[in-house]
Structure 1
Amino acid sequence: MRTDSQKIVPLKTALSGGKNHRERLPVPLVDLRDRSSRQLRHLLQALFDKADDALFQMADRAGCNTEQNACFEAMRDLRTKRRGIERSFLQKVFDSFSNLYRLEDEAAPSPISESTQLASLTHKERQQEQIDIDAMIERFMQRTPLNLQHLDMRLNILLGKAQNRTGNPIGPRWLIQHFLNTCQEQGIDPAIKPTILKLFERHVLTNIDELYGEANKLLSSNGLLPELQALQSQRRPAHPEDKTSLDQAFYIRNRSATENTEDVFEKLQTLLVLSRSDRLLATQPDHRPIPPGDLLQLLTRQQQHRIFRRISLQERVERLIRRLGKKIGNAWQLGRNERDTVILCSLLFESMEADRNLSEFGRHLLARLQIPLLKATLLDRTLFNRANHPTRRLINEIASATLGMNDLKTAQRDAVYQKIDQALAKLADNFTNDLSIFTELLTDLQAFSTEERRRSSLLEQRMRDTEEGRAKAEIARQEVERILNERLFGKILPEVVVQLLQEVWSKVLLLAFLKYGSQSIQWQDALRTMDDLLWSIAPNKSPEARQQLLELAPQLLKDLREGLASIAFDAFATTDFFAQLEQLQLHALQQTLQLLDSEEAAIEPFPLFEVTERIFLPMPGDTCNQKQEIELPNSHAAILEIDNLHPGVWVEFIGDQEHRLRCKLAAIIKPAAKYIFVNRNGIKVLEKTRTGLALDFHHKAVRQLDDSPLFDRAVKSLKQRFENTLEHN
C-alpha cells in the first residue's frame, strides 16, 4: 500500500525534470544526433586505419633507435586504445547535444574551459594547442563555410533562447576539442598528438562538410528555413511572396554574423555614431522602417538599371526611398542597421575612389559594384571580417587586374576590361539574394587572370633573357676594348693590321668571351693569336727571332683563318688580308737583315698608322651622344629607396595629369645597373639606369604603387577617417 509520502515529489526535481532533463531533445535534434554519430564513427575508423601508416613513416624517419621504438610503442598503444577513443569521443558528442538544453542556473561548458581543466597541460602547451585549433578551423572555413553557416542558422531558430551559448554541437571547434580531450584522457603519447591531429583534420574535418549538408537537409525537411536551401541551389528573381523569408534570412544572418569572429562592421558602426557623420539619412519619427526584403527587392531593380553615373550611394538610396514612398503612399525610412550599412558602404566606396593606387579603369568598373556590395553586406556583413569572403575577393581581384591599365580610351579593345565588364553585367542581371554568384564570378575571373598572367610572364622571361644577354655583351665589349687599348693605344702600326684588329678580330674576341668565358682556353687562344700577329710584323734583330717567325707563320695563319671563319668573315677579304700579311712579315724579315748589315732604315712598303685615340667598340642600339648622368652617393635617400625595390612592384611615372605611365619592374640587371619595366602584357616599355631612376624618385616623377588588397586599404582608411574626426571633435 502506497503512503502519501511516496506521492510527494521535490519541487526542484519537478521543475528540472530530474536528472534526465538534458535528454529532452526535439525529434529533429535526436535524428541529427544519431545520424551525426554514425557518420562520425565512419570518419574516425578511416582515421585510425591510416594512423598505422603515418606512425610507421615516423619510425622510418626516426634519427635513432630510441625514437623508432617510441613510434612503434605508440602504434601498439593506439591500437589497444582505439575502441576507447571512439566510444569516449562519440559520448562527448552525445553530451554536447544534451547540453544544448540547460537550465539558466547551470553553467554551460565551452571547448576552451573544458580544455583548461586538464591539469597535465602547461599554459604554453594549451596556448599552442589553441593556436593549432584556430588554424584548423580557419582552413576549414576557407574551403566550405556555407553548409556550416546554414546549419548554425537553423540550430539558432530551433533552439531559440534555450541555447545557452554552447554553440553547434557538431561544429568544427567542438569536434576538435572533443578529440583532443579524448586523446588526453586515454593517455595518448603527446609526441604523436600533432600527427594524430593532422590525421583528424585530413580524414574528419575534410569530409565533415558532407555531414553538414545532410544535417541541413534533415532540418530543412522539418520546416527550418527551407528557403536557405533554395538560395543555395538556384538563383531566381525575388518575388513579393518571398519577402517574409528574405526578411527572416536577413535577420538570422546578421544576428549570427559575429559569433566566432571579430566584428569589424560593428566597430565601424560605433565609430560612425561617435563621429556624428551619420546626419544624412536621418530618421523621421512618423516614418516606418522599410522591411529588409522590400529593401533588397528595391535595390535589385535599381541594380539592373546599370546606372554608370558616379553618384553617391547614400544619395542613390535616398532617392529610391523617396520615390518608392511617393509611389505607394507610405512614409518609409531605413532601419538603424540598414541605415548604418548604407552609410558605411557609401563611405567605403568614397575611400576606394580616393585611393591613388586605383587606376581609372578600376574606378570606372568598381562604381558599378556599389549596389551589389550594399546588398551583399545587408545579407552577410561578415564580409567586413573575413578576408576570404567572395564578395570582398572579387573587389580585390578587379582592382588588381586593372592596376596596370593606362588608357581608358582603349577599354573596348582590352580583353581584361571586357571580361570584367561581362562579369559585372552578369552580376547586375542575376544577383538577387544568392551570394554564391560572387564565388562563381570570382572563380571565372581568377581563371582568366591566371591565364593572362601566364602569358605575360612568358614574355617577361624572354625579355629578361634578352636584357641579361645584352648586359653580358656589354661586359664583354668593355673587356675587349680594354685588351685592344692595352696593345694598340700609342703604337705605330700598319693601318691594315689596326683595322683588322679593331673591326674584325674584336668580334672574334667578343664571341670567345660570351660563348666560353674569360677563363676559357678559347679566349686565351684568341688573345695569343692577336699577340703573335703583332709580334710577327714587328722588326726583329736577332737570328733566333727570324727562325722563330719562320716556324710560327704556318700556325699563325691557321689560327687566324679559324678565328675569321668562326665569325663568318668574307673569304675574299680573308685571302686579301693574308696576302698583305705575308708582305708585312717578309718586310719584317728584310728589316732584320738590313739592321744586321747597316744602320740605314728601309722604306716602309705599307702606310703606318699611329693609334692616338682610345678604341671604342659600338654595340647595336648605342647612341653616339649619350647624356652624362649626375652621380649620386650610395647614402642618398633616393638611392636607398630604389635599392629596396624588387621585381614585381608596380610604379607610376608622372609626366603630367594627362600623361602617366603605369608599369611593373620586371628585372634588375645588376652588371649594367639597369631597371627594366614592362606593361601588364609583359612588353618592355621603359628602361632606366640606377642613377636615372633614383633622380626620378628624388624629383617625384615616379611613385611606387600599393598592390595590397583594395578592400583592406579602404577599411583601414575609413577607420582612420573616423578616428581623425573624433580627435578633431
Structure 2
Amino acid sequence: MSTAPTTTPDADAPRAAPDDMRKRMELLQDCRELVVSRLSRVVGEALAKMSEELSALALRSRDQDEQHALMDAVSVVRQHRTEIELRFRRSFSEVFERRMHDDRPAAAHDGPAPGELALVDDSVLQAKLAVDRLVSRARGRLDPDEVLGVRARLAALLERDWFEEERHPASPEAVFEALKNALAELAPRADVQTALLDAFEPHVTANLNTVYNTVNERLKAGHVLPRLRPQVVVRDGQQPRGTSPEAGDAPQSAGQRAGGAQSAGQRGGAGQSAGQRAGAAGAGHAPHPHPRARELGSVLSLLAQGAPAARASATRILADPETFAVADLPIPDVQPPLLDALSGLQASTVGGGAGAELVSDIAERARENGSPLDQLTVEIVSMVFDYIYADKRLADVIKQQLLRLQVVAVKAALIDRSFFARRTHPMRRLIDRISELAADADADLGAGSPLVRGVEEVVESVLLQFDRDFGVFEEARERVESLAADETARRAERLAKVTREAERAESVVHARGLAMARLSDRMDAESPRFIRDFLADWWSLVLAEAQVGGGVAPIDHAEAMAIGESLIWSVQPKQADEVPRLAALLPRLINGLMRGVRLVSMPDERREAFFNDLLQAHTRAIEAAKQSVAAARRPTNLRMRPDGRIQFVPVAPPSEAVRIDPPTVEARSIRLAELRRGDSIEVDANGDGQFRSYRLAWISPAQKIFVLSRFPEGATSLDRAQLAAMFDGGRARFADSGSALDKAIEAVAAASGAVAGAAR
C-alpha cells in the first residue's frame, strides 16, 4: 500500500482551494516567486562557500584527475559566481513553470516510446547517474509530510489530484536540472560539472525542507488544503486493511512483515508512515503505487524465478537508503525456520571462535530454510564481512571478534532489511564502534589488554542475549563506549609527559617570537650580521627559556634582556669617553653571555666563533673611538646611562632588513589548520617507503606543535615546519578514516551495480 493526499476535507474544514481562478493564480504566482527567490538565495550562499570547500577537497584528494577537476571547478566559481546565480534563477523559473503546467504522466518524459531504440552516449549516462545520485541523497533527507503537502497543495491550485513525487515543480529533480542547465556552458566538462553539483548538494539538501515548509504555510494561510489528510491506497487485487471480517487472512503491512512491529518508515528513521500519522481515510481515487514499490515488486518476482540479474538489482535496492524512506514497502518477512536455525548456530558460537565452518553453516541453513531474498541477504552479509576481514586498518585480534558476530548480523539483517541502507541501524552502529577501536593506531590492542578483553566480553554477551530485541545492540554499544573512554584515560596517562613537554615547547616558541621582536626593535641598520644571527638563533631562545622557566632558570628574563641590550650597544660606534665604560661592562657581559649559551647548549664551535667575532668587533670599536674623538655618529636606539645601565630609547623604527620576525610555516599539499585531534596519519618515519599509522594525539592551541602517537612505541612531537615538510615531501599523508562497514557495503553495492549493468 501507499499513501496519497486526498482533497476531501473534514465537514467543518474550509474548501480545498479558493474557487476564484484569479485568487488561485495569485497564490500560484506567490509560491513560484517564493520558491525561486529562496532557492536562488541558497545557491548564492552556497557559491560564497564553495570555492574554499572545493579547494579543501582538492588538497585532500590523492587522484590527479580529480584534483584537476576540483581546481577547475574552483576557477568556475570564482570567475562566474554571479553568472551562475543568474542562470540558475532563470533556468529554475523555466523548469518550475514547465512542471507546473505539464500534466502528462511521468513515463512520457522518461525515455523513448515502447518499441523504440535509443543510443545513449556513455558520458550522458554517467552524468545522469551522477544527478540521480544527488537527487536520491537529497530526497532521503526530506520531511515526507512537507513533501506531501507541496505535492497536494500545488496540484490543488491547478485543480489536479496531485503531483507525482518526482514531478512536482520544486522537487530535487527540478532543482538539480536547473543547476545542471546553469552550469552547462560555463563548465562544459562533465567531471567539472559533477564536482560543482556535488558541492551544491549539501547546501540544497539542508534548505529544501525549509523552502517546502514556507510554501505549505503560505498555501494553508490561503485556505489551500489546510487539513491535508493522507489516505491508504489499495492496489488492484489487494484487500484494504480492516475492511471486512473475511479479510482476517489478508497480508500484513510491509512494516509488520519485515520488522515485526516496526514499519519500513520507522526502520528508515522516518517514524510512522503518513497514513498512520493521519489515520486511514475511506477508499477513494488513488495514484499508481510508488515507483520504488513497483521496482521492488518486479525484482522480487524475478528473484523468486532465479533470474541472475535480479540478485544484483535486489542488492542495489537493499543498499539504497531511499528504499526505506517509502512507507509500507512490500518487503517479505524472513522465514521463521531460518531464524530458528540461525539461533541454534548462534548458541554454538558462545565461548568459541568463528571460522569458515560457521560461514558455510549459515549459508547452508539459508538454502534449506530461507526464501530467495533470505538467501541473498545472507550472501550479502557474508560478502560484507569478507571485506571487513580484508581491511588492513583493523587489528586482527578485533577482526576475530567481529567475525564471531557474523551470525548475529545475518539475523539482524533478516529481521530488519534496512541493515545495508541505514548507518543508524543498531547492529551497524555496534560494528562501526568496534571497528573504530580496531583501527586506532594508539590503542593497546595486544592480546589480553583491557580493551581486547572488554570487546571479547561484549561480543560474548551479544551472542548470549540477542534473539530479536535490537536493544541488545544499543546496550552493547554503550559498553563499548565505556571501554573506549577507559582506553582514552590510559592513553592520556601515557601521553602526559609528552604533552607536557609539547606544551612547554609551544610556550617557548611563543616566547621566542616575542623575544625576537623585542631584540629587533633595539637593533639598527649598522648592527653587525654576526650579532643579528646570534640574537636570532641563540639569544632569543635564552630569553624564551628564561621566561618559561621562571625562577628555576639559571638566568632570569630581565637580566637576559639587559645582557642582549648590552651586547648590541657594545658593538656600536663609540665616542672616546665611552671606551672606559665599555671596558667596565665587558666582564659582566661576557659572564652573562656564557651563562646564557650554556642554558641553550650552544655548540662549542659556534660559541668559539661567536666570541672571536665579538672580540674583533670590540677591538675595532675601541680603535675607531681613539682615532676620531669628535666624529659625528648616527643616533642609536640604545645608550648607556651614567650608572652603567643600558637604556632603550627608540629613535626611529628599525629597518625591515634587520627585523627578526618568526616565519609563518604552511604546507603546500594540505592545510595544517584542518588537522584535528584523533586524525589518523600515515607516516614514513624512516624514509624507506614503509608507512605506518599514527594518531594525532595533541595539537597546541597555536597549532605550532603536533604530537603523533602509536602504541606501544610512544609519542613524538613535531613543530609546524617539520610536519609541513613531511606532508610536502610525501612522508606523511591522511589515513583512510571511513567506516569499515560502510566501505564494505558500498563495495558490495558497487559490484552488484556493475553486474546488473553487464546483465542489461
TM-score, with length taken from structure 1: 0.44
TM-score, with length taken from structure 2: 0.42
Give the greater-gyration-radius structure (CA). 1
